[in-house]
Amino acid sequence: MRPIPLAAGQPEYERIECRECGQLLAKRWPGGGLLVVVINQHVDREGRIVIQCPSCNTRTRLRPHRYRAA
């Protein structure tokens, strides 16, 4: 798979952090993919990924894919 070309100065990925403590929970790639970097996670009934912060136990809900207009 070829990497997606990035604009000058654009970050490689978007950091998704805990609202309470700032712990890194996941990375969102430019194509919309999601990489969860913590262990405590599950999928709820609506299809969202629920990540529990290992530091403060706050839950964050994310959509697995975020589609962007071309």
- Over residues 10-21, the pLDDT tens digits come to 668 888 999 999
Whole-prediction pTM: 0.70
Q: In this model, does residue 46 exceed pLDDT 50?
A: yes
Q: In this model, does residue 35 exceed pLDDT 90?
A: no
Of 30, 16, 10, nearest to 60 (Cα)?
16
Handedness of CA 52, 58, 61, 66 (dihedral sign): negative
Separation of alpha carbons 50 and 63, rounded Å? 9
Report percent pLDDT > 90 for the chain: 43
Element (H, E) at 24: strand 24-28
Q: In this model, does residue 33 exceed pLDDT 90?
A: no
